[in-house]
Amino acid sequence: MIKSNKNIIYTHPTCGYCDLLKEDLQSQNQSFEELDVSVNPELWKDVEKLSGGDRITPVLVRTDGTVEIGYKGIGCNYG
């Protein structure tokens, strides 16, 4: 697993679950870097690799390297 000093979130602007996840992290004072797949479509390859082949947001990569797909298990599928 890759470790980072910030959480990384793959997002899409039309996905409300991305907003909810960001709000949760902010309320917990957890820093994150947002990677918008609509602005950088090449990032879909990373999302697909992390999610097992799905084009889904949000995808959260925590500082310890663990990966969470969706917000509390629910996300927006762009496949």
Name the β-bridge partners of 71.
Answer: 74
Domains detected in the chain = 7-77 (3.40.30.10)
Angstrom distance (rounded) from CA 18 to CA 11: 6
Instruction: Please write the tens of the pLDDT for every residue from 15-55.
Output: 999 999 999 999 999 999 999 999 999 999 999 999 999 99
β-pairing, 7-11 with 59-61? antiparallel
The pLDDT, as a whole number, for residue 68 is 97
Instruction: Please write the tens of the pLDDT for every residue from 50-69.
Output: 999 999 999 999 999 999 99
**Beta-sheet strands, E only, within 1-79:** 7-11, 32-36, 56-57, 59-61, 67-69, 76-77
